[in-house]
């Protein structure tokens, strides 16, 4: 039992590191035209996937570190927006992973429910951090700024996330790499069995 738990931790660590690498590289391809990169939200994809596959802890940590590491390497995303983005992505990864891995049945319905709640939660966190940051700087953050930054400008990226991530998870399920299964209780037994 201990070997299995250690093996799972190593798998999660390697998968999270790989997704961190994807998150570092992916914006390079979309960032050549900033308007497109901002709309497609390329760093969100690996963070959400990490939370779903590896769990909320990995998703939250990768989400928080990714924008900060990209800033250190490439000076993007620009600060102070990168700080708000770090909290936003941490919320995405943590919420998606927590909800999906706690679902009674891990299936396409619980996947969409987890993604949608994580997307809303992450945007609320982003808005709250922006309000705090701009308030300390003597500026204001209006409702229109929140709606434009969190939803209106992000519609292509939201659509991409809602199409690509479930398709990837179904493909991984078919290969057996990420099986849809009944959630496990604390003793490791299937609930209701």
Confidence (pLDDT) at 167: 93
Say which CATH architecture domain 2-175 belongs to: Orthogonal Bundle (1.10)
Among 46, 39, 47, 45, residue whose Cα is nearest residue 155: 39
Q: Single out the residue of 52, 89, 50, 54 nearest to residue 68, CA to CA.
A: 89
**120 closest CA partner among 77, 180, 161, 68:** 161
Give the start-to-end residue ranges of the domains of the chain: 2-175
Specify the pLDDT at position 133: 83
For the chain, the residue count is 193
Residue 57's closest CA among 24, 106, 15, 103? 15
User: pLDDT tens digit string along 33-74?
Assistant: 767 777 788 999 999 999 999 999 999 999 999 999 999 999
59 in Cβ contact with 100 (< 8 Å): no
More confident residue, 22 or 6: 22
Greater pLDDT, 18 or 145: 18
pLDDT of 81 = 85
pLDDT mean over 115-119 = 95
Q: What percent of the chain has pLDDT over 70?
A: 81
Please list the residues that pair with 105 across neighbouring strands: 182
Contact, 91 vs 110, CB < 8 A?
no
Integer Cα distance of 65 and 54 in angstroms: 16
> How many Cβ atoms sit within 10 Å of the Cβ of residue 76?
16
CA–CA dist 48, 92 (Å, integer)? 6
> From residue 127, how far is each of 173, 187, 193 by CA, in Å?
34, 39, 42
Is the pLDDT at 187 greater than 60? The verdict is no
The DSSP symbol for 41 reads -
* Per-residue pLDDT reduced to its tens digit, 128-156: 888 888 776 656 666 666 666 666 678 88
Apex CA 136: angle with CA 155 and CA 145, to 5°?
20
- For residue 193, the model assigns a pLDDT of 34
């Amino acid at each position: 039992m201990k070997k299995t738990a250690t093996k799972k931790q190593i798998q999660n660590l390697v998968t999270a590191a790989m997704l961190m690498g994807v998150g570092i590289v992916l914006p390079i391809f979309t960032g050549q035209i900033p308007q497109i990169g901002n709309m497609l939200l390329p760093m969100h994809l690996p963070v959400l996937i990490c939370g779903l596959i590896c769990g909320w802890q990995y998703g939250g940590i990768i989400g928080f570190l990714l924008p900060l590491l990209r800033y250190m390497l490439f000076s993007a995303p620009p600060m102070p927006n990168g700080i708000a983005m770090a909290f936003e992505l941490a919320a995405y990864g943590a919420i998606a992973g927590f909800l999906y891995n706690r679902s009674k049945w891990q299936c396409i319905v619980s996947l969409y429910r987890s993604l949608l709640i994580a997307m809303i939660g992450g945007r609320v966190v982003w808005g709250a951090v922006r309000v705090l940051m701009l308030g300390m700087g003597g500026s204001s953050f209006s409702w229109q700024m929140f709606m434009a930054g969190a939803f209106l400008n992000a519609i292509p990226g939201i659509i991409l996330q809602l199409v690509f991530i479930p398709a990837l998870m179904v493909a991984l399920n078919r290969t057996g790499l990420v099986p849809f299964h009944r959630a496990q209780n604390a003793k490791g037994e299937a609930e209701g069995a």
